[in-house]
Amino acid sequence: MLLSLLTAPPVAEVEVEVFVPLCDNALIACGREPAGNPRSLETNLYWGAMYGAERFLSRAPGFKVRSRQDGAADSAVLRELVLERTAAPGERPVRLLLHAYAGDRIDTALEDFLRAAAGASQADLVVWAGHDRLMDRPPPRVESPAGATPRPVVVLACMSEQFFGPVLKSLGARPVALTRTLMAPEAYLLEALATTVARHGPTEATELRTALVEAYARYQRISRRSASSVFAKVPRAQEAR
């Protein structure tokens, strides 16, 4: 018995790739000027604020920052952040790669995200967390890489079922969590995703939706029923998987 435990293969790590276009007051109301500065990692609503991606996750229990790499001042990607979530018994370790895109380069972020969803990424789950740019403009033309496998996708953005859903379907990607209403794409939702992926894997749509609803209700201080209305219902075909 001891020998079998010593020789057991390591549990496979789950990889989650997250695209975070910084909030830009030129596109939406982000709050005070620093929160909507599209190139300020320290103050931006979606990155450096209390519930911003780096500030929140780097302090969340069980999460450790493994690396930070800053881009050039004029580049589209301002920072790449790698975090790991320590696995509890019965869980898988989760590695998150977050790309902080300048808010004024959100179109580049959108194209890169859609390519990743179409199969350019090798991550187990691909996530968009930010403004729904498809509410403002037509979808960019993105072709699926030859021989690539489209990825499971989560879009944390306002009304993503309506705006991202058809585009992702055309790319062959599988949405496992989308939204139906206006919402705040804040980092406690990323924490909830990582925890659920560690416990249930990256494609259990019902479990993912439940975790998102519970986190949103808690942090927004609203009822679970109200929070549930934010996230798209899981199609029966996915519930059965």
For 70-107, what is each residue's pLDDT tens digit? 999 889 999 999 999 999 999 999 999 999 999 999 99
- Portion of the chain with pLDDT greater than 90, in percent: 88
Per-residue pLDDT, averaged over 23-40, amounts to 96
pLDDT computed for residue 73 by the predictor: 81
Task: Look over the chain and give the mean of its residue pLDDT values, rounded to a whole number.
Answer: 93
Other beta carbons less than 10 A from residue 28's beta carbon: 16
Alpha-helical runs (H) found in the chain? 2-7, 53-59, 106-115, 160-163, 165-171, 187-200, 205-220, 224-228, 236-239
Break the chain into its structural domains and give their ranges: 12-239
Question: Is there a contact between 221 and 214 (Cβ–Cβ < 8 Å)?
Answer: no
Strand, helix or coil at 89? coil
pLDDT computed for residue 145 by the predictor: 79
For 207-234, the pLDDT digits (tens) are: 999 999 999 999 999 999 999 999 999 8
Other beta carbons less than 10 A from residue 161's beta carbon: 18
pTM of the model: 0.93
pLDDT computed for residue 6 by the predictor: 54
Per-residue pLDDT, averaged over 142-166, amounts to 94
Confidence at 240, pLDDT banded by 50, 70, 90 = very low
Per-residue pLDDT, averaged over 8-36, amounts to 92
Q: Amino acid identity, residue 70?
A: D
For 159-189, the pLDDT digits (tens) are: 999 999 999 999 999 999 999 999 999 999 9
Confidence at 23, pLDDT banded by 50, 70, 90 = very high
